[in-house]
Chain A
């Protein structure tokens, strides 16, 4: 389903316009979504009853353009680029693709950032305040095309490395196991 289809675009337009209220809010002290307890982090796609990942409830940060754009800024400031590059991955896995080792839901991503993960992902818990972690989570999801196009950020004011998040295709998240080898 791409934006080339007029009906879809029309629907997106209408929805986008009416959703303007929430998309455009600039909230400086945010209510924090509940984070995930450790035992529900998905680490393997071997699961009784089949493989689809559980349906995730609405994540308010990723329908808010300001939060996603702040997340993009923090991605740069806290040097996520050092391992994940501009989303394409280097020492760390790519964030722009559809492979999610530890789950793609906002709660999973939050847990990943807070706890750290084997093979080099540092634990940022206690270092990055929760609100900023949620903003980064929203941005990471936008890298993988999980965020609505009108909320997505556009190009940054630096060297042009890849298409903007707005122009990326949405991907269906798939669990990935075992984790891909470092490049």
Chain B
């Protein structure tokens, strides 16, 4: 769900209601103005009478009256719209009480997500897919590692830019559980179009379950193939950019893969997380996303299969 009209959170609700008010007022204004225009264009009968100078004076005076009242009405309408916007803005900019804090860093072309916590052992890192509990405000702390990006989940709230050298905040509150999507909303380079965002709004219990699972280190491989896959992971190029908690891989250049199998999508929300897609992505990412920073990793088929199995085991 990714619509600013079909909303799923109180903040997006408020904005959608304001949008309805503005649209209704503007539509009425438009119809009136166009109606008067058409009337002015088509009125024929009265024309003959406007030939004389005196009659022209009277018509001009009437027109001056109408225009003055119309301008006054315009000012009144604008004040009303301005005030209603002011109240919504005040509500949206009020900082939430006791929010869940999530630090989001934009990269070309993926989202680095870290759930903040005063206790460092309770901080968890993930990428591209965000989970939040319903009904609770979540404060996003936004910055960027490279160029300007913009975080936008239309069904949940308005957007906010991620600007290098600045820290911005945005608040999310989801009404009910569901899957919501968005994508980067500030042109950030070759794969701006495919820098997607996935939000899972979970019930508070589900969220806690997810959080506890994510805090675990990477699952130990159970079969030989998975073990071989882990060896491939830590001995080839994967380890230079990615991390899996519990192994030696701890690079932060690319997304954290500790629980990659728990995500529904890969490649920043653009591909369903299936073994085939994973294998194709590893072999040649530029086929699906030309210009992406992840290089092609030519692996022999056995190694690739083992690697995919290992990654699929990282629940």
Contact = CB atoms under 8 A, between A and B. Distances in A.
Interface string B243-256: 00000000001000
Contacts of B292: 28
A131 B239 CA distance: 17
B284 A29 contact: yes
- Best-buried of A26, A28, A126, A157 by chain B (most CB within 10 Å): A28
A128 B237 contact: yes
B295 A77 contact: no
Interface in B221-267: 235-237, 239-241, 253
B239 A77 contact: no
A127 B239 contact: yes
Given A28-B291, A29-B286, A77 B253 contact: yes
| Size bracket of the B interface | 20 to 34
Given A28-B286, A28-B290, A77-B253, A127 B296 contact: no
A29 B298 CA distance: 12
Interface in B87-145: none
A26 B292 CA distance: 11
Interface in B276-296: 284, 286, 290-293, 295-296
A26 B253 CA distance: 21
A163 B164 CA distance: 22
B291 A129 contact: no
Given A28-B290, A78-B240, A129 B253 contact: no
Interface in A15-60: 26, 28-29
A78 B236 CA distance: 14
A166 interface: no
B36 interface: no
Interface of B: 146, 164, 190, 235-237, 239-241, 253, 284, 286, 290-293, 295-298
A129 B238 CA distance: 10
Nearest to B241: A77
- Best-buried of A26, A77, A126 by chain B (most CB within 10 Å): A77
Contacts of A157: 146, 164
A26 B296 CA distance: 15
Contacts of A127: 235-237, 239-240
B240 A128 contact: yes
Given A29-B286, A126-B235, A127-B240, A132 B295 contact: yes
Interface in A117-139: 126-129, 131-132
B296 A129 contact: yes
A132 B240 CA distance: 12
A182 to B, nearest CB: 25
A128 B240 CA distance: 8
B270 to A, nearest CB: 16
Contacts of B190: 26
A29 B236 contact: no
Contacts of A129: 237, 295-298
- Best-buried of B240, B292, B297, B298 by chain A (most CB within 10 Å): B240
A66 to B, nearest CB: 9
Given A77-B253, A157-B164, A29 B237 contact: no
A131 B146 CA distance: 22
A131 B298 CA distance: 11
B312 to A, nearest CB: 22
B284 to A, nearest CB: 7
A28 B239 CA distance: 21
